[in-house]
Amino acid sequence: MTLRIAVQSKGRLFEESMELLGEAGIKLNNKKRTLLIPAKDFPVEMLFLRDDDIPQAVATGVADIGIVGENEYVEKDEDACIVKRLGFSKCRLSLAIPKDEKYDNVKWFEGKKIATSYPHILGKYLKEKGVNSEIHIISGSVEISPSIGLSDAIFDIVSSGGTLVSNRLKEVEIAMQSEALLIANKELSDDKKAILDELIFRIEAVQTATDKKYVLLNAPEDRIDEIIDVLPGMRSPTITPLATKGWCSVQSVIDDKRFWEIISKLKSLGAEGIIVLPIEKMIL
């Protein structure tokens, strides 16, 4: 029994998907990329598709599961279920207009022509806002539409906003946030569900370790309670007596975002010999 995973064939989502799967132990048998490649030592195979084809492929059973941007999942509105939000490839779907245009509110778009590759999402958004606009469907290079007279505005993916700036556009409304999703066919067999459960277990072990550091340090026994307050672990820090009387070894996990703040507090409480290590996987 093999679980078939649909993955975007190129681009940032492809790179981040393959990195996550690689860290979860999914290695491909064939370095030369073809449409369908089995994995080593795990019962899955990769099916490489266009991102906008993945929701339909999963819904119809061509693939069992898929990694796809939430924007494409919502736009295609196929009958596949979300198994897990993956937290990478984050972006947003926004309305943008020429930089020099004066903008007050969403009513600016009344009667305007908007170019987009996401007519379903845009149509729903405009209806919710009570705005009547002409939706002009276009694939690729949506951002150039206003400058060549094809539209008054655009509705497209925005990540950093650099593409908008380079095309003299400004973002004025955000319709939805998007991230990578793991989606699945609703009719998976029990055997395939078991493989999917194992894959999710591995993915969560990788993700739990993200932005975490393992810290080892020596601390005076009379400051242990204060140090524990600074160093909360997954449950509590590990404390081991040292050969030197009055001292302990302390081990814990800290969030990388608070790393320097925590290290400074530890030093002020007398901690010494602080060692910081990266965490590859974390099983809860």
CA atoms within 13 A on the CB side of 68: 34
Residue 255: other Cβ atoms inside 10 A: 12
| Contact yes or no for 95/171 (Cβ under 8 A) | yes
CA atoms within 13 A on the CB side of 186: 8
Work out the angle at residue 175's Cα, subtended by the Cα atoms of residues 172 and 178, and round it to the nearest 5 degrees.
Answer: 120
- Which domains are seen in the chain, by residue range? 3-88+179-208 (3.40.190.10), 91-178 (3.40.190.10), 211-278 (3.30.70.120)
pLDDT of the residue at 33: 66
What is the average pLDDT across 248-265?
A: 87
What is the average pLDDT across 161-185?
A: 95
What is the average pLDDT across 147-169?
A: 93
Question: pLDDT-derived band of residue 234, with 50, 70 and 90 as boundaries?
Answer: low
Question: pLDDT-derived band of residue 27, with 50, 70 and 90 as boundaries?
Answer: confident
Question: pLDDT-derived band of residue 278, with 50, 70 and 90 as boundaries?
Answer: confident
Q: Kindly report the backbone phi and psi dihedral angles of residue 113, in degrees, each rounded to the nearest multiple of 5, phi listed first.
A: -95, 125
- pLDDT per position as a tens digit, 30-82: 666 678 899 988 999 999 999 999 999 999 999 999 999 999 999 999 999 99
- With a cut of 60, say whether residue 147 has pLDDT above it: yes
Name the least confident of 107-111, 229-233, 240-244, 261-265.
Answer: 229-233
What is the average pLDDT across 208-237?
A: 83
pLDDT of the residue at 127: 97
SS (H, E, C) 83-100: EEECCCCCEEEEEEEECC
- pLDDT per position as a tens digit, 199-208: 999 999 998 8
The pTM of the full predicted model, rounded to 2 decimals, is 0.83
Beta bridge partners of 85: 181
- With a cut of 70, say whether residue 218 has pLDDT above it: yes
Question: pLDDT-derived band of residue 256, with 50, 70 and 90 as boundaries?
Answer: confident
- With a cut of 60, say whether residue 19 has pLDDT above it: yes
Name residue, tokens 């507090």: 265
What residues contact residue 18 under an 8 Å CB cut-off, 6+ apart? 7
Q: Provide the token pair at 109.
A: 């778009």
| Contact yes or no for 26/39 (Cβ under 8 A) | yes
pLDDT of the residue at 32: 62
CB-based burial label for 57 (10 Å; 0-12, 13-18, 19+): buried
Work out the angle at residue 173's Cα, subtended by the Cα atoms of residues 167 and 176, and round it to the nearest 5 degrees.
Answer: 105
Residue 196: enclosing H or E segment and its boundaries? helix 190-209
Work out the angle at residue 231's Cα, subtended by the Cα atoms of residues 228 and 237, and round it to the nearest 5 degrees.
Answer: 70
